[in-house]
Amino acid sequence: MRIVAGEWGGRRIAAPPGRATRPTTDRVREAWMSAVSPYLPGARILDLFAGSGALGLEALSRGAEHAVFVEQAPAALSILRANLAALNAEARAEVVRADAVKYAEGLSAGAFDVAFADPPYGQGFAQALAQAFASTPFAGLLCIEHGRADAVPDLPGARTRRYGDTSLTFIPAPE
């Protein structure tokens, strides 16, 4: 995997071994970052189900100020920390070992500018995060990657883009 653009564009990052973590493809990540690029300069980023940290690192590379990475799996946490060190990004990041849905449910409204979530497909996590966001919009914009078959509530202003079997749903905080 590599960082697509920005300060670290072209730099390679590691992915956790095995099939427990499914990294977002470069093509989907590039489309995702293009869609949110106006929100990134100076932003506070939340990367839920962070895995390797590719989404948050891509956002930092493109001008976000700070990122909080939330991950529970020990192997993924190890790779995430190694990727932060390799890019010398530790000062702009915080790593939290926690259940991503419970972490999001505990946030206050507006805690972050942009929140990314790349949960495992087909397990209800995308729906649970969207529902938590509907109750307390913890970011100005929530972006969820999910499988085409995963149900995500139809919230006001939400829009979904499809890339093969992958969908990206963008949900703005209510005004």
Quick one: 153 exposed, middle or buried, by C-beta within 10 A (0-12, 13-18, 19+)? middle
β-sheet with 159-163: strand ranges across: 93-97, 66-71, 44-48, 112-117, 139-147, 166-172, 159-163
| pLDDT number for residue 20 | 54
Sorted by where each begins, the domain ranges of the chain are 26-172
Q: Mean pLDDT per 10-residue run, the chain (175 residues)? A: 91 78 70 91 97 95 97 95 97 98 97 96 94 97 93 90 90 92
| pLDDT number for residue 29 | 77
| pLDDT number for residue 12 | 93
- Homologous superfamily of 26-172: Vaccinia Virus protein VP39 (3.40.50.150)
How far apart CA 141 and CA 150 sit, in angstroms, is 20
| pLDDT number for residue 101 | 97
| pLDDT number for residue 137 | 97
| pLDDT number for residue 21 | 57
Return all residues near 151 (Cβ < 8 A) that are at least 6 apart: 126, 127
